[in-house]
Amino acid sequence: MVATSMGPELARAADILVADYCAVKAKEAVLITADTASDMSVVEAVMNAADSRGAKPVVNVIPPLPFQGGLSNPYIAEPLAAAIASCDLWIDFTFPNMAGSDPFEAAMRAGRTRYMMGGDAGGEGLVRMFGKVDLDRLHDVHKAFIDLTNRSVGKECHIENEKGTDVTFELVELPFPKPRRAAKPGLYTVPGAVGLWPNPDSVRGTIVIDGAFHEYYATMPVPLRLEIDGKIRAISGGGSEQKVMDRALRRAAGGDYGKVIHFTCGIQPAARYTGRSFIEDQRVTGNDAVGLGTPFWEEDGGENHPDAVVSMQSVWIDGKPIVKDGAIVGPAKLKRLADKLEPLYN
């Protein structure tokens, strides 16, 4: 188990996560799950924050799961599944995580639980992602970006970066909302990443990745290249991580490499690319978490897919520049809001 000591900064960030973003209420049953690789100072800070707000927190620590999502089912013990079924708020710091598992799906169908995917966030990352940003301003940028993509359904999105990424796809509508707070039952993620959702069959080009969450999160010894023509046709590079990505893709897609499920654009002004946290690295301004494998709406989809991190992207929608080398450059309203979004130096 990892433990960091961040003092009042971590306590404040945990309180913002629990009380503000997750909208915890007195007497709510709060389940905090972690594994033996989690930062236990984060777990303790979140537990204390829930307790201080009058909720009833419980911590459950397990060995790290070998796989995420539905692939984790054989490794989830019955007592943990029972706890998942009986909580109001579930904050999950396991990594790989349990979103998409059978207990998760049962909790979502029951309509009681708010699930917060904390993943591999460590103490310093939690402070940056919750304690060093104005969440209201962050949501304003997110909403303006999503309004743009929803107006652009059916149009072409083009992504490039200096390392060789050059990919196009047709935008589809956001499949689920991302509100300011996790106030209603459902799945929630750390704020700071805007989804760019493709028609998977329309994705064409090359994606060059710096890091990947396949069976674990790792940066690439050398960049790994994906060649896509509707489906992922080939992978190359990546050094020792290529074999891991190959088997993770085949596991997620039932034998072949599958498709590109999602792109994103990080907008979190305080996030840092450390190479140690997938949850934080993908939210660095201009970074992109590319979901790979099987779309969640297809059989055996869900959260079984590997993710790749692409750095410092440029984005065009319908031929108009939106992001240039990681910085938002348009349209005017989105740029104006993004320019006001800076880290808090409290």
Q: Which fold has domain 8-130?
A: Thermophilic metalloprotease-like (3.40.1830)
* pTM score, whole prediction: 0.96
Residues shown for the chain: 346
- Name the token pair of 124: 């310093």
Backbone torsions φ then ψ of 229, nearest 5 degrees: -140, 75
The counts of H helices and E strands in the chain are: 9, 17
- At residue 200, the 3 state secondary structure works out as helix
**Pairing mode of beta strands 89-93, 114-117:** parallel
3-state class of 279 per DSSP? helix
- Name the pLDDT band for 296 (thresholds 50, 70, 90): low
Judge whether 188 and 114 are in contact, CB under 8 Å. Answer: yes
pLDDT tier at 297, thresholds 50, 70, 90: low
Using CA of residue 61, residue 67, residue 70, residue 72, what is the dihedral sign? Answer: negative
Instruction: Note the pLDDT of residue 265.
Output: 99
Query: Where along the chain do its domains lie?
Result: 8-130, 134-340
What is the predicted pLDDT for the residue at 176?
83
pLDDT band at residue 177 using 50, 70 and 90 as cut-offs: confident
Three-class DSSP category at 271: coil
For residue 4, the SS3 value is coil
**Strand, coil or helix: what is 299?**
coil
Average per-residue pLDDT in the chain? 95
Arithmetic mean of pLDDT, 19-35:
99
pLDDT number for residue 34: 99
Among 52, 76, 55, 54, smallest CA distance to 65 is for: 76
CA distance 57 to 42: 14
The radius of gyration computed from the CA coordinates of the chain, to the nearest angstrom, equals 19
Residue whose C-alpha is closest to residue 119's, from 280, 279, 305: 279
Burial class (CB in 10 A: 0-12, 13-18, 19+), 213: buried
What is each CA distance from 250 to 54, 66, 235, 245, 253, in whole angstroms? Answer: 45, 15, 12, 9, 5
pLDDT at 220 over 90: yes
User: Per the structure block, which two tokens stand in for 297?
Assistant: 């709406």
- pLDDT at res. 6: 63
Q: Buried b vs exposed e over 132-154: b needs ≥16 C-beta within 10 Å?
A: bbebebbbbbbbbbbebbeebee
Give the whole-angstrom CA distance, residue 262 versus residue 198: 6
Among 304, 340, 279, which residue's Cα sits nearest to residue 123?
A: 279
